[in-house]
Amino acid sequence: MTSKGDYKNKVEIEWCPGCGNFGILTSIKNALSGLDIPPHKILIVSGIGQSGKLPHYLRCNVFNGLHGRAIPPAIGAKVSNHDLNVIAVGGDGDMYGEGGNHFIHAVRRNPNITVIVHDNQIYGLTKGQASPTSDIGMKTKVQKHGVMHTPFNSLATAISLDCTFVSRGFAGDVKHLSGIIKQAIEHKGLSLVDVLQPCVTFNRLNTFKWYKERVYKLEETDYNPNDKTKAFEKSMEWGDNIPIGVFYKREGKPTFEDNLPVLESRTLVDQETDPSMADELMDGFT
Amino acid sequence: MVELRNITKDMMTVVEGSYAVAHATKVCKPNVISAYPITPQTHIVEELSQFIADGEIENCDYINVESEFSALSTLVGSSATGARTYSSTTSQGLALMHEVLFNASGMRLPIVVTVVNRALSAPINIWNDQQDSVSERDSGWIQLYAEDVQEAADMVAQAYKVGEDPDVMLPVMVCMDGFLLSHVYEPVVLLEEDLIDDYLLPFDPKYKLDPKDPKTFGAFAPPASYTEFRYAQEQAMSAALDKIEKAADDFYDVFGRYYGGLIDEYKTDDADIIIMAKGSIIGTIRDVIDNLRENGVKVGLLKVRALRPFPKDAIKEVVKDSSVVITLDKNISPGVNEGALCTETKACMYNSDINVPVIGYMIGLGGRDIPEDTIENIVDEAKEVINSGISTESQFTDLREDLI
């Protein structure tokens, strides 16, 4: 049995005291130990941002790539070694801004990976500019007159593309978030966990208190996460009441790897190549 | 030789490098500013956003976009309609613009971008070197490098002057060292708003997107004509050689400040040893030269302001009577084991009657400090070259053997 301590990396954590990221880090450890996945069977991929540091604080395989680009290398690793549990983490700017195109097309492909988004509705690493999910009207040092553009609704986007697991957690409710991440990792297909993550330093609007007063759990209502149309409708709910939990779940859709015949028998990394098998073909050219 | 005319203390104000550049951009009256507002970035676009919010730039749109790719793509569209355009970026941001850089130069759109020079990943490094812009030297953009904050700010005006010249019509990168210039506070003269109209004409391109006179930008050029587009770009680069000199001279006439044209020189007249470099390292080199001159070492500086177009003739004229040339590069082309100045300086002297040895050093990569001692040691090695020839043509500087 693995325990939470097995995933702890002895590195000084460089997040602000009280950052919502701590709740996400703890929840990921809880989920991994709950599923009893040993560290060497986990790959966490990140981009650039405060979220990009998360894998540094975990004991497992780590790949830290470019801003916005966590998903493509995550898919690349998954198809090469589909025995790995692959988790891509990123922020709202990382996954939905510069990496938005990757996010959209990854959902379409449905690789069996988990995408966890630290959604603090602000650019934190760079000290407080509006992100793709900032609420309209939020004033920042760049958006002097307030944000004018419609926030990116990742849940609605994912549902519209038939993402097979669409969820939202809150970094201030670790127990609940741990459960969602656990389900997401267990799910076969691309699972999205958008996490409301208060940025205690730069986002003075969407604070712990602000979220706490608004979030409610879908599973505590009579909500059914298997109805795509209802899920789409639910994903539009934002403001005085913010739903958290699993919005949409669909089993049985083939994953990206299922559609690759070469992966049927074993992972690519375990497959041996025998150049002599090409001899017969080569003979055809002589 | 740098010249500052009639500048008194009361004309100067202490500001961050990014502010000085943003202010100079404001004075140049851009019509569209497009930027990705976050890392890798500087305060330049934040300051510009403030200027616009305060109504200080008339007739200007400020567009926040989702990536640097979008930032430059937006400006390509704006510039094609005849707008004066500006953005700033650095390292990964410039790398992400790569595809669009060729689009802008191929369409002959004189966009100005301040490149705050920083290292490229991997490994992740946010500090200064010049690998980002040097890697884009084949993109068809004019590249100018500033020595200090004052020059980086004033160079924005010079960049518009050169780029928008009808004989040139090329986009321009104004390169300034990250942190060492962008985040440092220095006393500067903020570019004078009341003088700019004497220097910079309104942008009025011969070809632009206009419903009254429809044009096509960026259409197909088959093998039968593509080469001629490339040739025309090269012709424009050649024309820019004189225009860069003239833009510097005219700037001196109007504003009283001069930093060199294509190049600048310091104590080169009788120099046996000439140090070539670009960017903020120049200040350190000047100090080293002053120290060594006191000890009788005949050493001088060749400051390269323009990497593109590459000022071959100007460089040859300076180095022809020297005994050895040192190139200091904050970049490397792996596989050649040389930085750009080393490779290109050697290349421009080949097939000429100049036979001066060139030794190259990769220095200050990923923000590693460059103390005066390091440059003095390099000069010592150059003296050996004079005595006994080249032993190592190009090498890394201050390598930490304990890490290798």
pLDDT of amino acid A263: 87
pLDDT at position B106 over 90? yes
Whole-number Å distance between alpha carbons of B63 and A5: 47
Nearest to A130 by CA among A93, A168, A170: A93
Q: Do B38 and A144 lie within an 8 Å CB cutoff? A: no
B39 pLDDT above the threshold of 80? no
Q: Does A67 touch chain B (CB under 8 A)?
A: yes
Look over chain B and give the mean of its residue pLDDT values, rounded to a whole number.
96
Percent of chain A with pLDDT over 70: 100
Give the pLDDT score at A127. 85
Question: How many C-alpha atoms does B258 have within 13 Å on its Cβ side?
Answer: 21
Nearest residue in A to B126, CA atom? A48
DSSP string, A25-93: HHHHHHHHHHHT--GGGEEEEE-SSTGGGGGGGBSSEEEE--TT-SHHHHHHHHHH-TTSEEEEEEEHI
A95 contacts chain B (CB < 8 A) = no
- Stretch A278-282: mean pLDDT: 88
In this prediction, residue B94 carries a pLDDT of: 96
How far the first Cα of chain A sits from its last, in Å, is: 58
Model-level ipTM above the cut of 0.90:
no
Shortest Cα–Cα distance, B39 to chain A (Å): 6
Question: Where do the H-state alpha helices sit in B259-326?
Answer: 281-294, 312-319
The domains of chain A are located at 4-283
Tally the residues of chain A: 286
**CA A186 from chain center: how many Å?**
14
Least confident range of A36-40, A273-277, B336-340: A273-277
Pairing of strands A242-249, A165-170: antiparallel
Q: If you ran DSSP here, which 8-state letter would residue A184 be given?
A: H
What does the DSSP assignment read for A147-161? --SPPP-HHHHHHHT
What's the predicted TM-score (pTM) here? Answer: 0.94
- Token pair of B333 as six digits: 């082309």
As a whole number, mean pLDDT of residues A140-154 equals: 90
pLDDT, one tens digit per residue, over B187-215 is: 999 999 999 999 999 999 999 999 999 99
CB-nearest to A67 from B45, B46, B92 is B92
Catalogue the E-assigned strands of B146-204: 172-177, 185-188
- How far is the alpha carbon of A127 from chain B, nearest alpha carbon, in Å? 9
User: What's residue A1's pLDDT?
Assistant: 84
Query: In 3-state terms, what secondary structure has residue B117?
Result: strand
Burial class (CB in 10 A: 0-12, 13-18, 19+), A85: buried
**Cβ atoms within 10 A of the Cβ of B268, count?**
23
- All residues of chain B having their beta carbon less than 8 Å from the beta carbon of residue A66 are 92, 121
**A contact residues 130-189, partner B, Cβ 8 Å cutoff:** 130, 132, 141-145
Q: What is the pLDDT of residues A110-124, one digit of tens each?
A: 999 999 999 999 998
Q: How confident is the model at residue B165 (pLDDT cuts 50, 70, 90)?
A: very high
Nearest to A97 by CA among A76, A112, A118, A78: A118
- Please give the Cα distance from B42 to B36 (Å, whole number): 11
pLDDT value at residue A193: 98
Domains along chain B? 4-258 (3.40.50.970), 263-403 (3.40.50.920)
Q: Give tens-digit pLDDT for A243-260.
A: 999 999 999 999 999 999
> Is B50 an 8 Å CB contact of chain A?
yes
A126/B39 CB distance under 8 A? yes
Using DSSP, state whether B21 is helix, strand or coil: helix
Class of domain A4-283: alpha beta
